[in-house]
Amino acid sequence: MDMPSNIANTSKSYVNELYVMRNVEGMSSLTVVIPTFKERDNVVEMAMAIRKEYPEFKVLFMDDNSNDGSKEAIDALNDPLTQMIVRDPAKRGLAASVLQGFLEADTDYAMCMDCDFQHPLSALKGIKDRMDAGADLCVGVRYSRKIMGFKRAFGSRVVEAFCKIFFVLHRRPITKDMMSGLFAIRCDKFQPVIEKNWNSFELEGWKVLMDLCKYTDFKIKIDYEMYHFNSREVGESHLNPKVPIMTFHQLWGFGKILAKMLCKMYGINYREMYPNE
């Protein structure tokens, strides 16, 4: 394929060559939003793996001030479709990172996924195809959670079932995997919802999909893509006792009572977590 000389001369880096060779005529329609905290050992591998499989996707890392060289490593790739935004340390939060990334996206769709390869890259194609076919929201659904270990997988199922009951009672939409960290949205439909409800979201929480279902004010066309969930190979898990507390806190009034009870159990100060209540 002949490359326009002005583009061919811009960079000799591997990623840029891939970009030029395979994407020069295409426009990105999807941004992969990846929240990161201390993922130095994964970011470059992730950026390059996505670029290789999906030359036209934009990649947006939303980093919570890791200060571990992640930003420098991503900048050094010199990939025009990949960037890392380092967030305000005072506003740290996994959900805040994902939601801000969704607002930053200037493509038709935005998808979130983790940076530790637990979500297989092969699933991204199916999700994108389903969005192209007209879905507002496509949720990646894990075939099995066994890889998390029996206790955690069981806990995840029980908490999810519990959350679903609350959503049904409050007449809010549910999805097959409410806890999934792999899903895509239509930006034109969801960005206004995020802007309007920013202060109501559980911004430090982890269950972003659940909050989007909670606050969305239109009938969502939902589709699903099944995938095999992997285990984290490199880097450290960030899971901590505050995660289930924040998940319960998303469940309206009764959920907040449960969150307070969990705080007592774990010896965590609820008032410090939610000073405005």
Ligand X SMILES: Nc1nc2c(ncn2[C@@H]2O[C@H](COP(=O)(O)OP(=O)(O)OP(=O)(O)O)[C@@H](O)[C@H]2O)c(=O)[nH]1
**Residues near Mg ion, by CB under 5 A:** 114, 116, 118, 232
Binding site partner of 62, from ligand X, Mg ion, none, Cβ cut-off 5-8 A by kind: ligand X
The single-letter code of the amino acid at 117 is F
Contact 162, 244 (CB under 8 A): no
In the bound complex, what is the minimum distance in angstroms from residue 246's beta carbon to ligand X? 11
CA gap 186, 107 in Å, rounded = 9
**Contact range with ligand X by CB under 6 A, out of 75-83, 90-98, 125-133, 137-145:** 90-98
Indicate the burial class of 171 (C-beta count within 10 angstroms; 0-12, 13-18, 19 or more).
Answer: exposed
**Contact range with ligand X by CB under 6 A, out of 3-11, 14-22, 115-123, 172-180:** 115-123
**E strands, 53-187, where?**
58-63, 82-86, 109-112, 137-142, 183-186
Neighbours of 92 (CB within 10 A): 14
Q: Map the footprint of ligand X across residues 161-220, applying CB under 6 A.
A: none
Binding site partner of 160, from Mg ion, ligand X, none, Cβ cut-off 5-8 A by kind: none
Answer for which of 64, 177, 223, 225 binds ligand X (CB under 6 A) is 64
Task: CB nearer to ligand X: give 14 or 162.
Answer: 162
**Contact range with ligand X by CB under 6 A, out of 14-22, 109-117, 159-167, 210-218:** 109-117
Residue 35 binds ligand X (CB under 6 A): yes
Residue 97 binds ligand X (CB under 6 A): yes
In the bound complex, what is the minimum distance in angstroms from residue 250's beta carbon to Mg ion? 20
In the bound complex, what is the minimum distance in angstroms from residue 17's beta carbon to Mg ion? 31
In the bound complex, what is the minimum distance in angstroms from residue 61's beta carbon to ligand X? 8
Q: Nearest-CA neighbor of 96 among 28, 173, 46, 33?
A: 33
In the bound complex, what is the minimum distance in angstroms from residue 232's beta carbon to Mg ion? 5
Contact 42, 117 (CB under 8 A): yes
CA gap 241, 140 in Å, rounded = 25
End-to-end alpha-carbon separation of the chain, Å? 61
In the bound complex, what is the minimum distance in angstroms from residue 207's beta carbon to ligand X? 11
3-state secondary structure of 222: strand
Residue 100 binds ligand X (CB under 6 A): no
Cα–Cα distances (Å) from 25 to 15, 55, 133, in that order, read 16, 11, 22
Q: Map the footprint of ligand X across residues 216-245, applying CB under 6 A.
A: 232, 237-239
Residues of this chain that bind ligand X (CB under 6 A): 35-37, 39, 62-64, 92, 94, 97, 114-116, 118, 232, 237-239
